[in-house]
Amino acid sequence: MATFVSLSTAIAELVRDGQQLALEGFTHLIPFAAGHEIIRQGRRDLHLVRMTPDLIYDQLIGMGCASKLTFSWGGNPGVGSLHRLRDAVENAWPRPLDLCEYSHAELAAAYSAGAAGLPSGLLQGFRDTDLYTANPDATRAVACPFSGTALTAVPAIRPDVTILHAQCADRAGNVLLRGITGAAREAALAARALLVTVEEQVESLDAGMNAIVLPSFLIDAIAVVPGGAYPSYTQGYYPRDNSFYQAWDGIARERESFLSWMNRHVLDSPDHSALLHKLGVAA
């Protein structure tokens, strides 16, 4: 049963050094506020999992929180590189980062298998790319036991903690996700513990019959964090701040400008509301 707590309490109680952690959300509903709180609380040696690392993993990696990354596309969409991710891979700064690399379809299959309680997921297997030789333990070639068709098996992902952002929760702790959900539902069901930040608590979810609702019993903790996805977005509340994503390219390009931005906006802000006020985004 979900309990409503503050974000700092939720991170303090659920997230430990050395855990496998998935902050999901595909461009939409990325839990930035939760990622920032993990940085403030100084977690280390995390194994981060995410289909598209995006700016929040660039920040976690650049601040030294991670030792391993499982991912399928690590760029700033429509802009270019994630410079902190690149610096970690190319120069081991601020510390070495192990990579486990998939395609989107493979990582989606790994989350789906985790959600279904299966040990692995299956895809059609045309294993002619170098991703297979570069990541020899990440997949296996198998044959369909019925047809003999060549398939690729991907081990299930079961994060210690999955963290999502969503539109709203009702008083009982049921959570509604609306719009582009990516692999959020699968990452939630695959998790050993689930933390969700929401824009607001509401009397009724007012969800359509086939809406994506995470029932309260799946969720360990809910924190109400308005603006918690910024500079990503929450459909129906505020749009993606594309100008921030463009500006991040310059901020993150050099170590000094990155650290100074993180110190001023994340470490020197007690919470997400303070950060949004500093950025001039809060209305």
Partner 1 sequence: MSQPAADIQYTQDEMMTVTAARQLADGAVCFVGIGLPSAACNLARELHAPNLVLIYESGTVGTKPRVLPLSIGDGELAETAEVVIPLPEIFTHYLQAGRVDLGFLGAAQIDRFGNLNSTVIGAYDDPKVRLPGAGGAPEIATHANSVLVIMRMSPKSFVSELGFRTSSGFLGGRGERAARGYPGRGPQAVITDFGVLRPHPDSDELVLTDIYPGVDPAAAVAACGWPLQVAAQLQLLAPPTATELAQLRALNERTRVAHATPVKIHLASNSSNAV
Interaction with partner 1 in 129-148: which residues (CB under 8 A)? 129-131, 134
**Is residue 158 a contact residue for partner 1 (CB under 8 A)?**
no
Return the number of the residue (145 or 280) whose C-beta is nearest partner 1: 280
Question: What's the rounded Cα separation, in Å, for the pair 227 and 76?
Answer: 20
Return the number of the residue (35 or 226) whose C-beta is nearest partner 1: 226
Q: Which two tokens stand for residue 255?
A: 């170590």
137, 243, 256, 270: which one binds partner 1 (CB under 8 A): 243
Contacts of 31 (CB under 8 A, 6+ apart): 23, 25, 56, 163, 164, 165, 197, 228, 229
- Helices 54-62 and 255-262 pack at an angle, to 10 degrees, of 100
Closest C-alpha to 42, from 257, 229, 266: 266
Return the number of the residue (1 or 150) whose C-beta is nearest partner 1: 150
20, 59, 67, 72: which one binds partner 1 (CB under 8 A): 72
- Interior angle at CA 180, CA 178 and CA 185, nearest 5: 75
Stretch that binds partner 1, among 9-17, 42-50, 128-136, 215-223 (CB under 8 A): 128-136
**Is residue 226 a contact residue for partner 1 (CB under 8 A)?**
yes
77, 96, 117, 208: which one binds partner 1 (CB under 8 A): 77
Going by the DSSP 8-state scheme, the letter that residue 204 receives in this structure is -
Size of interface with partner 1, in residues (CB under 8 A): 78
- Interior angle at CA 76, CA 211 and CA 42, nearest 5: 85
Closest C-alpha to 249, from 80, 135, 17: 80
31, 35, 62, 74: which one binds partner 1 (CB under 8 A): 74
Range 28-67, binding partner 1 (CB under 8 A): 28, 51-52
Stretch that binds partner 1, among 38-46, 158-166, 235-243, 252-260 (CB under 8 A): 235-243
